[in-house]
Amino acid sequence: MIGRLNHVAIAVSDLDAATRVYRDTLGARVSEPLRLPEHGVTTVFVELPNTKIELLEPLGPESPIARFLARNPDGGIHHLCYEVDDIIAARDRLKADGARVLGDGEPKIGAHGRPVLFLHPKDFCGTLVELEEA
């Protein structure tokens, strides 16, 4: 059901500093920052030959990323994103198998302009999983 790894998301408290590390120190190509108020974050994508890294900075204290950083002040891996062909079919299959979909269970539009859903980490080996329709 899942396809390729779309990205690994890393929560950071200083997006500019994190972007400099990937761009200047590691020599990676990075996107311009993109504010996503509906998700409570500003994001920068680091382009790699085989996947992407998504750097996430909270947009305010109510952001899920702000809560993550309160528990993990140094930041760290927040979630893994996998592509699926049909997000509704994937959601329905996962729910039928007992997996918990976060939020209201309806896809939201993500940073790539495609529908996304998040799955509860307790159902996936302690890892928050994002599904993105390919």
Residues labelled catalytic: 130
Rounded to a whole number of angstroms, the distance between the first and last alpha carbons of the chain is 12
Token pair recorded at residue 39 = 């998700």
Beta strands in 32-73 (DSSP E): 34-36, 41-47, 52-58
Say how far apart CA 17 and CA 22 lie, in whole Å: 9
What residues pair up with 80 in beta bridges, in sequence order? 8, 129
| Burial class of 100 by CB neighbour count within 10 A (0 to 12, 13 to 18, 19+) | middle
